[in-house]
Structure 1
Amino acid sequence: MPMPTARPIRRQILTFAVVGVINTATYYGLYLLFLISLPYLGAHVLAFLLSMTGSFFLNARFTYRTRPTLRKFLLFPLTNAVNFLTTTAGVYVIVGVLHEGSRLAPLVASAAAIPATFLVSRRIMAPRMSAA
């Protein structure tokens, strides 16, 4: 199997980042909408699940150009687990170890989590590309 060129990987990373921005905006908009009639935790969970579902289909179609399957859909939440663990560790290191401010720490940690999240996402959504 031929080695993937840098250009498609760059396109995937850029598209992955754009989908992430769309996903975040969708989550926040839905959260605010659901907050009108639901308690904040209910609004959060429902908005999170819906935006994650949208993220799955957007990444399947535009980032990896692959057919969405039930298996991929069921594995996709692992990308969020990796993101959560990476950002949590990042916030701890930035604030607890480096003694930097806590206001921007989540943004820096989130940016640092993109590569790890992308790799897990790519492994789930396009396993043949990841193996190459």
Structure 2
Amino acid sequence: MKSQLGQILRFGLVGGVNTGTFFVLYLLLHPHMPYFAAYTLAFVLAMVGSFFMNTYFTYRTRPTWKKFLLFPLTNITNYVIQSVGLLLLVDWAGMNEKIAPLVAAVIAIPFTYVISKRILIPGTDEARAADPAGSEPQRSSTSSASTV
């Protein structure tokens, strides 16, 4: 449980740093392109940073090409939730284009945590179900996928 709490706190910290990075990129790109294009490009760039911060810091696991290639699945959900939120907040609710991405990002946080954990630490849920004592799953030091 203590490990889980630490992981959640690290995820929140990484999320804050990643959101700040995304927001700065968005603000830098926004004057040069339409808001949604700036949003998309900033999102992709921040996603790469998020992968490395989450593998090394949040989940303390090795990055591999397989995880790197699967990691966008975590962000597809995040992207859809944030994109729909952004469009609704700007076009329907009339929220400022510079603030709406932050609000949409907050809404997506719980979904992103669950999916990123499943991708970056494969078998976590299955290992816990098999071991009711709740010990941490063993991670192999070798991997068939090479590190990034």
* 1:22 paired to 2:17: yes
Range that drifts further, 13-22 or 55-64: 13-22
Q: Return the offset for 1:127.
A: 1.0
In 2, the alpha carbon distance for the partners of 1:82 and 1:45 equals 14
Name the SS for the 1:127 alignment partner: coil
Contact 1:27 1:47 in 2 (8 A): yes
Match of 1:71 in 2: 66
Instruction: Output the amino acid matched with 2:22.
Output: Y
Q: Describe the SS at the equivalent of 1:23.
A: helix
Among 6, 27, 33, which residue is 1:39 paired with? Answer: 33
| Residue 85 of structure 1: how far off its partner (Å) | 5.0
CA distance in 1, matches of 2:2, 2:13: 17
May I ask how many residue pairs the two structures share in their alignment? 117
User: 1:31·1:43 contact (CA, 8 Å) conserved in 2?
Assistant: yes
Unaligned runs of 5+ in 1: 1-5, 93-100
CA distance in 2, matches of 1:116, 1:9: 16
| Corresponding position of 2:113 | 118
The question of whether the paired residues in 2 share the 8 Å contact of 1:122 and 1:130 is answered with no
TM-score (norm 2): 0.63
Runs (5+) with no aligned partner, structure 2: 96-101, 128-148
Deviation at 1:8, TM superposition (A): 0.8
1:53-72 mapped onto 2 (5 Å cutoff):
53-72=48-67
1:52-101 superposed Cα distances (whole Å, 9 cap, x missing partner): 10000000000111111111111112212233455659xx9xxxxxxxx8
Counterpart Cα distance in 2 of 1:33 and 1:76: 25
Provide the rounded CA distance (Å) in 1 between the counterparts of 2:119 and 2:6: 18
**Which structure is higher in helix share?**
1
Distance 1:112-1:7 versus aligned 2 partners, 3 A rule: farther
CA positional deviation for 1:116: 3.0
